[in-house]
Amino acid sequence: MKKTIASIAALAALFSITPAIHAADNDAPKKGRGFAAADTNGNGTLDLAEFTAMVSKRMDAEAAKKRFAELDKDGNGELTLEEFRAGRKARREGGESSKPAPN
């Protein structure tokens, strides 16, 4: 009988901890593609190196530098998520080009 009670108590404790573990996992930034994945230092912004690494398969370093400057509206050397999203939206609407202009 004591073993059964101890087993039930252990299971109850386990089930009460499990939701907290999953909640902590859900609070973590999603890693994969895009802004959150590129933000390697986790400060909530992208610097030029992080942005260049993110777009390296689509453009060379010089084009990435130019695009970064276009997106960095306040000129502080960091892209916020808002600046990044605004640039994507403008590009989709035809306002900005993601390809460098010919020389």
Q: Hey, where are the domains in the chain?
A: 31-92
Which pLDDT score is estimated for 83? 96
Distance between CA 7 and CA 101 in Å, rounded? Answer: 69
Of the candidate CATH numbers 3.80.10.10, 1.10.238.10, 3.40.50.150, 3.40.50.720, the domain formed by 31-92 belongs to 1.10.238.10
| pTM score, whole prediction | 0.61
Average pLDDT, the chain: 77
Pairwise pLDDT comparison (4 vs 44), residue with the higher score: 44
Cβ-proximal residues to 55 (8 Å cutoff; 6+ apart), any chain: 64, 67
Write the pLDDT tens digit of every residue in 14-58. 455 444 444 444 444 444 578 999 999 999 999 999 999 999 999
